[in-house]
Amino acid sequence: MNAAAEVDVVVIGGGATGAGVLRDLAMRGLRATLVERGDFASGTSGRYHGLLHSGARYVESDPLSARHCIAENAVLRRIAPATIEPTGGYFVATPDDPDDYVERFPAACVAAGIEAAPVPLDELFRAEPLLSREIRAAYRVPDASLEPWELVDANLASAREHGADAHRYTAVIGFERAPDGAVTAVRVRDERRGEERAIACRAVVSAAGAWAGKVAGLAGARLEMSPGKGSMLILNRRMTAAVVNRLAPPGDGDILVPVHTVCILGTTDITVPDPDEVHVTRDEVEALLADGERLVPGIGDARVLRAYAGTRPLYDDPDHEGKHPDESREISRAHHVIDHGPRDGVGGFWSIVGGKLTTYRLMARDVADAVAVSLGVDAPCRTAEEALPAPATGTPYWLGDRLAAHEQEGGGDAELICECELVTRRRLAHALDGRGDSSLDDLRRTTRLGMGPCQGAFCTPRAAAMVDARHPGTANPPLRGFLDERFRGTRPIAWGDQLTELWLAAGIFRGTLAVAGLADRADAEHAAG
Ligand SMILES: Cc1cc2nc3c(=O)[nH]c(=O)nc-3n(C[C@H](O)[C@H](O)[C@H](O)COP(=O)(O)OP(=O)(O)OC[C@H]3O[C@@H](n4cnc5c(N)ncnc54)[C@H](O)[C@@H]3O)c2cc1C
């Protein structure tokens, strides 16, 4: 191993898993640094369904994953309560769901250690009046809604408290290896400045999710990932108070998750050759809405705010004996720690793949255990016992939190930058102070700017003005970038009321603000000679 290393471990990937690995290693006293090619949690962790799984979804298809989910569900409620809205969840049987599955479900939950209590239908419909009256059975499970960005930030903050550091917009572009094949350094590129450098290290953990195969390839290792694209729709309000799942084997459009002020219907599952392939098709949108009708009749008439997709970091283990699945949905959601030393002759290099966001901490523990042993460190994992730092600690999330805080400060519209998500001038300024080099899209992740019903139509110019006040002449490119990203997610759902809303937004930006013609400073300076 590399004696002159700058750090003990380089962690690749700033999603939930990488952030969890960084925290775990740092808490064991290892010097660790994390590199992420984009913003933190901009990969699958920022493009998922928002569900803290009870595990009940996997009791039949994937019992190991179900047991992991229920165990970690309890741990996360303890260490990061403020990132969780304890909505509870239901599994409901529609007339289309198979009788034998419905009959086996309670016993399968018991076997996995998941509490699933039958719910009388009159009670269900009182609590969830929009659900289909054709539902014929229901069980309550400890599902919840989980905020990914705060969770990732809290893990990174904790890691920093323990001496680690994390760099975003820093992509891994290659590896340096010793004659025996062991990794001695990771080559990275600053994606904004174009500068390249090497980080000398004793070990590397790739937590690159669906991109883990590509990263392993850069190190000369072999890792066949099977990225599964899942598309989701954001509806303009909460249709249900709790998470609602179909009581059937996992399928499309069978889960509705209330998330902050909206709800998310999903997902599809399509194997894609490239994990960056997150384009949502019109067919997927129509199929999701048709499936959603079975849960909430009339959901197809609701206003869809946006469509988006993420790619599952699925790994079809070639060493696994038995049938290899043809379908993405049949691949296990359990995680795998892969030591590329004995496997591929690339010593000091591990990949952690598979899993769920719900199980990120367990995944981090398992790979950190292996790395710590190899580096001669016997400190145990403490991430399940020590709570994450504020704001992830505190009380569980409550939908009225922001309104209550705003009213305590006097309320009113004057200080609101984003009315839909109640982002105040102070909250945005705080985010800009903490991450001054952020794009507006990065700020969206930390504040929810532009994520509500108007999808940025009114808040974007105000936020751009705040950026410009700090750095005069710099706001046009981030403004255009933010609008491009917002429009990307509204294009596949441009019909009905949403189309009217899009025309309004286009009128504001193109007609009133002439955004298409705005030059950035470099253009303006060039034009001025
Ligand atoms: C549609 C969908 C819905 C889902 N719903 C749920 C759910 O409701 N609940 C749940 O628990 N799980 C859910 N999952 C699964 C869960 O989202 C993922 O398992 C989890 O987010 C993966 O986290 P990660 O940190 O491993 O990967 P990621 O979050 O993808 O992080 C990997 C990071 O590596 C970075 N990276 C890639 N290449 C490089 C490089 N060369 N250099 C530097 N960085 C690099 C990427 O930019 C990325 O940010 C869902 C997944 C999908 C696709």
Whether 174 is in the pocket of ligand 1, judged by its Cβ within 6 Å, is no
Q: Can you read off the two tokens belonging to residue 356? A: 């769920």
Site to probe by mutation for ligand 1, drawn from 17, 37, 44 as the one with most ligand atoms within 8 Å of Cβ, is: 44
Nearest to 478 by CA among 514, 511, 437: 437
User: Rounded to the nearest whole angstrom, what is the distance from the C-alpha of residue 518 to the centroid of ligand 1?
Assistant: 34
pLDDT at 3 over 80: no
Residue with tokens 């491009």: 484
Distance CA 466, CA 241 (A): 35
Is residue 480 within 8 A of residue 515, CB to CB? The reply is yes
Confidence of residue 222 (pLDDT cuts 50, 70, 90): very high
Bridge partners of 11, per DSSP, are 34, 205
Q: What is the pTM of this model?
A: 0.94
Res 519: pLDDT:
67
Whether 44 is in the pocket of ligand 1, judged by its Cβ within 6 Å, is yes
SS3 79: helix
Q: Write the pLDDT tens digit of every residue in 228-246.
A: 999 999 998 999 999 999 9
| 114-138 mean pLDDT | 98
| 119-134 mean pLDDT | 98
Q: Write the pLDDT tens digit of every residue in 249-277.
A: 988 889 999 999 899 999 999 999 999 98
Res 398: pLDDT:
92
Which residues, other chains included, contact 292 with Cβ-Cβ below 8 Å and sequence gap of 6+?
Answer: 233, 253, 256, 265, 299, 300
Residue with tokens 């174009």: 194
Whether 311 is in the pocket of ligand 1, judged by its Cβ within 6 Å, is yes
Confidence of residue 471 (pLDDT cuts 50, 70, 90): confident
Res 188: pLDDT:
98
Q: Whose CA is closest to atom 19 on ligand 1?
A: 356
Res 113: pLDDT:
97
Is residue 432 within 8 A of residue 478, CB to CB? The reply is no
Res 481: pLDDT:
82
% of the chain residues with pLDDT over 70? 95
Res 219: pLDDT:
98
pLDDT at 74 over 90: yes
| 306-311 mean pLDDT | 94
The answer to which of 139-148, 149-158, 358-367, 493-502 has the lowest mean pLDDT is: 493-502
| 447-467 mean pLDDT | 89
Res 286: pLDDT:
92
Three-state DSSP string of 419-437: CCCCEEHHHHHHHHHHCCC
Ligand 1 atom at minimum distance from 267 CA:
1
User: Rounded to the nearest whole angstrom, what is the distance from the C-alpha of residue 208 to the centroid of ligand 1?
Assistant: 8
Res 327: pLDDT:
61
Is residue 311 within 8 A of residue 274, CB to CB? The reply is no
pLDDT at 322 over 80: no
Q: Whose CA is closest to atom 1 on ligand 1?
A: 230
pLDDT at 447 over 80: yes
Res 328: pLDDT:
66
The answer to which of 42-46, 140-144, 294-298, 499-503 has the lowest mean pLDDT is: 499-503
